[in-house]
Structure 1
Amino acid sequence: MTLGQRRKGTWEVWRRGREDVAPSDDVEGSPWHERLLSSMSDIGDSPKNEDPAPQIEVFGAGSFRKSKTDKIGDSGKRGISFTVESLEDIPSKVDEESSKELKEGKSWIRYVVLTATIVCLSSIMANIVCFNFTILCMPRTGEVLSGNHTAYEGYTKNERTWLFSAVAVGALLAVVPVAHAISTIGSKKVFFAAGMLTGVATALVPVAATFDLNTFLALRFIQGISFAACMPTVGSVTSSWASLHQQGLFIAVLTTFGQLSSVFSMPVSGQLCTSSLGWQSVYYVHAGISFVSFILWFVVYTDTPDQNKMVKTRELAEINAGKSSSSLVAQNKPTAIPYLEIVTTPSVWGVWVGALGDLVAVQLIHTFSPLYIRQVLQYSVNHTGFAAAVPVLVQFCVKVFAGHSSDKIRGVSETTKLRVFNTVALGFSAVFLAVLGFVQKGQGLLGLSLISLATAMFGFNGGGFNKCATMVSRQYSHFVLANIQFIWCLSMLICPILVSLLLPTGSVAEWRTVFFAHAGLLLVSNAVFCALATAKPAPWTDREIKNPAAKNTPLYHPHHGEEPCDLSLSDNERSARQDFYRAIERMNEARLPVMACVPCLTVFKDVIVFRLHASLHSSQTAWQCALCGGLCRDRRSFQQHVVFNAHDV
């Protein structure tokens, strides 16, 4: 068997494997392409290694090893494994084994991961939210009952503001480091560490709140650090585990952790506060749930589906179907984040502005609805917990429905769906909040109904700016969502200050001003989002995207490894140079080995061909193909030759 025959056989095995396992995956940069490069790079350093191996063992869909000489690939990785006597037997074996795996029943591991993740996200948020209720029944630090006092006075307005804001400050300072850590070491380690941190901090709150306010503030700050990992994890899980046809479902379900936390925390806190266990038991129960849920999550979760042994081939193919090679490479190894391009893209700013209006209004309801229900609607402490949980429970149901329906609706463009869903979320909520401002004191049923409707409408944001963020940023969605996390933290910091300024006495007229201000912010932010929204991926997610829309074109245009433009060259020559340096930049971003001949402006995928070609320069035969020996009259014909014969990248 000649070297050329072996190369041809290898290429055919790889090509057939791709058609069976991932027909919609791009070639360059995919995991199968990486394994092919790894296989070719280990064959040898010269044509002397041409002895045919008696057996070839195939692993996965594209990597192989020569049993007689070198070991190529990783036998420990999941995939198809069989032995053949000759290269001619490989295609039928690949077809047979691939079809066998693809006919297996579906596995549902991605839904197990989805469920475990939303439980953990809700646990982190519940540890923060439970303070919003216990503040109604817990004493001020160092306060004791004496004399004629039969109830605790509680924290002052300034102390409450500090305790609310401590979480926001901690999250604000931790957002960027957490996002960077997720992009470098993966979401599994970072999110698990955040879960353990919030569990410990929550368990220590009863002790700190009793003896020292500064220690209590420090624990709230630590809870904020853990909270900073939530939205980046949502982006990472959605990008890695959701197929392109389930982006809306995943992003909608995962972003319901704010609602689920309130649905659980409010009634549980209300019952425990009024029980013999006391307000301290609220924090102990929440901390215990955090520890258990995160340990179970750590067992079932992996950063990418192909690392999870429970994921079958069919499910893996469904998850990766239609994803670009760049996004698949980013899942398996750290890639550089194009920060400047992302932050100068108009559609991304549309997402962030939409998120600002939504999150400020949501923060108002989540933080101050117990106070409004207690003071204005005049519910008892015990009933306030259940009443405060009703609006967010309705929002949770609406959010899951909206996320799923946004994936299933056909006949309407994705961009139009994003605008419609976001308008329902922000516009309709603004209307209900404005009407809520006219509710009078004691009108409990009417006020609770309007709060529930306003909160429920926010559930449609899963098909609005949240979904837009993942569709535009793809493999970099964890960074875009990390900035939404930053905005969320900012709203947690701003909202208490804004409400305290607008609500000095807590009268109905002051509450009306609060609701009107938030309704106006919702309308403005929705208008900005609708003007800038798009469902198409930005060009920095895939360098192959040509002529992107203006909304997706970053204002900052880096020159990806290109040489300075030389006007003395012809148009074809300049175009060839630009294509050459862009190809090198793409391989660098994907962390692939770069084998490029600068004099010839040609990038090779085969290390042997590259080394032989480089050696030909010294013998003045630079236009001879090192693989097949063919002679070319100039560089242009040589480039056409390597492309036509599949020698190029």
Structure 2
Amino acid sequence: MSSIEKTEEHQNGKNITFANKTRYIVLIIGLCCICSTNGNYNVINFSVICMQDVIEEQSVSNQTHWLENTADVSFIFSAGAVGAIIGLFPSVPLTTKYGVRNILSLYGMTTAISTLLFPMAVSFGYYPVIFVRMAQGFGASIMFSAIGSISEGWSPISEISTYVAFLSAGFQISNIISMPVSGVLCESQLGWRAIFYLFGGFSVLFHLIFFVFFRDSATVHRNVSLKELRKISTGRLPTSSKRQPVPYLAVCKDKVVLSIWAAAIGGNMSLMALMTYGPTYLNKVLGLDVRETGFLNAIPYILATAVKFVAGPLSDSLTFIPEVWRMIFFAAISQLGLAFGFFVMALTSSRVIAQVAYTTAIVLAGINIVGVVKCAQMVCSFSFISSHFPFHSFKVARQHVHFVMAVISLSAWGAIFVLPIIIGIVCPNHTASEWAVFYIAVGIFVIAMNVPFPFFATMEPSEYTKPEWEQKRNQVSPEQRI
């Protein structure tokens, strides 16, 4: 029985179709999961500056507590990235075999439970904190892949920029919520522990809802009407219920994909520097107190979310401009703006100008999702019909975007892992001059890594996404493939 026939059966059963907008319900649930998972991972960035009670309770004469040791705290930050890198490697084959619904739910619950256990780990000591932090990172590792996979199964072609932009807004929204809430809770009678219980609890709830409601494809969801299914399917090839094996070598040799990964490495290194060490920069260099740091660090993410909500629909609506030029434009604005923000922060001595530059960098970084990431969505998924390949030519779509997004995730987690080491070397005393050197270096790095993308960006699906590629490959002997 075909997917459309199954949906028709569901319609005959009078299932709720949410006014033909089920895909938006999925979008909201997916956004909540990404937001809560990212919030779980990042709350330690703020809460670590208000754990004075732990130092007082656990201090031992003639010994420095691990919260007072910069190297120990930096390793805790890095431990999350180590866990994420470990989690990434099984995530691709697991998602291929079991689907995004099962794996995202499993990974999300891992982060949620480890967040709830974090205060207990702190009471036990440094090494339990490292273990729980690695579990947080393990569960958070799939977030980037989830954005690609959810969009792949649910977004109409005409709304793909909107869908990707809104899902990725979870990274900003989580900071909008977590920073000021953490600042208030840290200085309240509830204390820093309440931060972990609050975010961990909501994360458990959201991922349970996701598991119950979500399906990997709109074609098999009981609440998707025929009308909505036609809208989602327009311009797409029919998809198989079973994912095709990822041609890892072919993807890794693709010049377009390599340019995407290079741009992602540059963008992620710079953005993670702001996200991870933003509170430290505001507190140590600009001299803001804890409450000010919480609220002022939320402002860039509020603006970034608003810009994403505009950039996604704007990219979809500018149909009179070729798609590839739209992707290059948004990528250039994003990454050049990010680099410019770093240069200004490095060269200014004005607190106000530094705050404006910091805000601008975070705001513009967010719109790269409809540039580089959208290009990855198109190039590595043949579910979208190319003008050169008619619909009737192929029986099934081939999507490998989850692997490409996993490597983009790896670049982000790799950045989080190495940043504490770099910061420890370049900015040991957190002085303005030390941060200036770091910011200039990062600004140059992000520009250099984004140079190839405009030359290789394309809308055409790669050869290895086409069914005929597998047929040709099967005709070649294993010795010749190697």
TM-score between the two structures when normalised by the length of structure 2: 0.89
Map residues 137-286 of structure 1 onto 2, 5 A cutoff.
137-139=50-52, 143-144=56-57, 154-286=67-199
Structure 1 residue 506, shift from structure 2 partner: 1.2
**Cα pair 2:337 2:361 within 8 Å, conserved:** yes
Cα separation, 2, equivalents of 1:480 and 1:496:
26
**Cα pair 2:41 2:111 within 8 Å, conserved:** no
Cα separation, 1, equivalents of 2:148 and 2:468:
23
Cα separation, 1, equivalents of 2:175 and 2:41:
10
Please point out which of 340, 346, 356 is paired with 1:449: 356
Q: Which residue number corresponds to residue 348 of structure 1?
A: 257
Please point out which of 280, 301, 305 is paired with 2:218: 305
Cα distance change of structure 1 residues 411 and 213 upon mapping to structure 2, 3 Å threshold: same
Please point out which of 421, 436, 440 is paired with 1:512: 436
**Cα pair 2:180 2:298 within 8 Å, conserved:** yes
2:295 matched to 1:386? Answer: yes
Structure 1 residue 210, shift from structure 2 partner: 2.1
Q: Which residue number corresponds to residue 523 of structure 1?
A: 447
Cα distance change of structure 1 residues 146 and 161 upon mapping to structure 2, 3 Å threshold: closer
Letter in 2 for 1:265: S
Cα separation, 2, equivalents of 1:157 and 1:424:
35
Q: Deviations over 1:78-101 (max 9, x none)?
A: 3269xxxxxxxxxxxxxxx99xx9
Q: What SS class does the counterpart of residue 235 from structure 2 fall into?
A: coil
Q: Deviations over 1:591-633 (max 9, x none)?
A: xxxxxxxxxxxxxxxxxxxxxxxxxxxxxxxxxxxxxxxxxxx
Q: What SS class does the counterpart of residue 255 from structure 1 fall into?
A: helix
2:31 matched to 1:107? Answer: no
Q: What SS class does the counterpart of residue 524 from structure 1 fall into?
A: helix
Cα separation, 2, equivalents of 1:105 and 1:120:
20
Structure with more of its chain in helix, by fraction: 2
Q: Deviations over 1:261-298 (max 9, x none)?
A: 11111111000000001111111111111111111222
Cα separation, 2, equivalents of 1:116 and 1:192:
12
Letter in 2 for 1:78: T
Q: Which residue number corresponds to residue 536 of structure 1?
A: 460
Structure 1 residue 446, shift from structure 2 partner: 2.3
Please point out which of 317, 323, 329 is paired with 1:420: 329
Cα distance change of structure 1 residues 183 and 105 upon mapping to structure 2, 3 Å threshold: closer
Q: Deviations over 1:221-278 (max 9, x none)?
A: 0011101121121111011101112221111111222211111111110000000011
Map residues 7-156 of structure 1 onto 2, 5 A cutoff.
32=2, 77-79=6-8, 106-139=19-52, 143-144=56-57, 154-156=67-69
Cα separation, 2, equivalents of 1:500 and 1:105:
52
Please point out which of 388, 400, 403 is paired with 1:479: 403
Please point out which of 467, 472, 486 is paired with 2:374: 467
Unaligned residue ranges in structure 2 (runs of 5+): 382-398, 478-482
Structure 1 residue 562, shift from structure 2 partner: 2.5
**Cα pair 2:55 2:67 within 8 Å, conserved:** no
- When the two structures are aligned, how many residues end up with a matched partner? 454
Q: What SS class does the counterpart of residue 467 from structure 2 fall into?
A: coil
**Cα pair 1:110 1:242 within 8 Å, conserved:** yes
Letter in 2 for 1:213: Y
Q: Greater Rg, structure 1 or structure 2? A: 1
Letter in 1 for 2:410: F
Cα separation, 1, equivalents of 2:95 and 2:461:
21
**Cα pair 2:279 2:297 within 8 Å, conserved:** yes
Cα separation, 1, equivalents of 2:18 and 2:194:
45
**Cα pair 1:142 1:210 within 8 Å, conserved:** no
Cα distance change of structure 1 residues 558 and 542 upon mapping to structure 2, 3 Å threshold: closer
Cα separation, 1, equivalents of 2:196 and 2:119:
7
Letter in 2 for 1:419: I
Q: Which residue number corresponds to residue 488 of structure 1?
A: 412
Please point out which of 501, 511, 519 is paired with 2:425: 501
Cα distance change of structure 1 residues 237 and 145 upon mapping to structure 2, 3 Å threshold: closer
Letter in 2 for 1:453: T
Structure 1's consecutive aligned runs of 4 or more residues displaced over 4 angstroms after TM superposition are 140-143
Structure 1 residue 157, shift from structure 2 partner: 0.9
Letter in 1 for 2:284: Q
Cα separation, 1, equivalents of 2:195 and 2:338:
31
Structure 1 residue 185, shift from structure 2 partner: 0.7
2:257 matched to 1:333? Answer: no
Cα distance change of structure 1 residues 450 and 248 upon mapping to structure 2, 3 Å threshold: same
**Cα pair 1:195 1:226 within 8 Å, conserved:** yes
**Cα pair 2:166 2:309 within 8 Å, conserved:** yes
Cα separation, 1, equivalents of 2:19 and 2:309:
23
Cα separation, 1, equivalents of 2:401 and 2:77:
28
Q: Which residue number corresponds to residue 267 of structure 2?
A: 358
Cα separation, 1, equivalents of 2:380 and 2:180:
38
TM-score between the two structures when normalised by the length of structure 1: 0.67
Percent identity over the alignment? 27
RMSD of aligned residue pairs (Cα, Å): 2.5
Please point out which of 345, 348, 353 is paired with 1:436: 345
Q: What SS class does the counterpart of residue 270 from structure 2 fall into?
A: helix
Please point out which of 313, 318, 328 is paired with 2:231: 318
- Greater mean alpha carbon deviation, residues 333-342 or residues 177-186: 333-342
Structure 1 residue 146, shift from structure 2 partner: 8.2
**Cα pair 1:472 1:537 within 8 Å, conserved:** yes
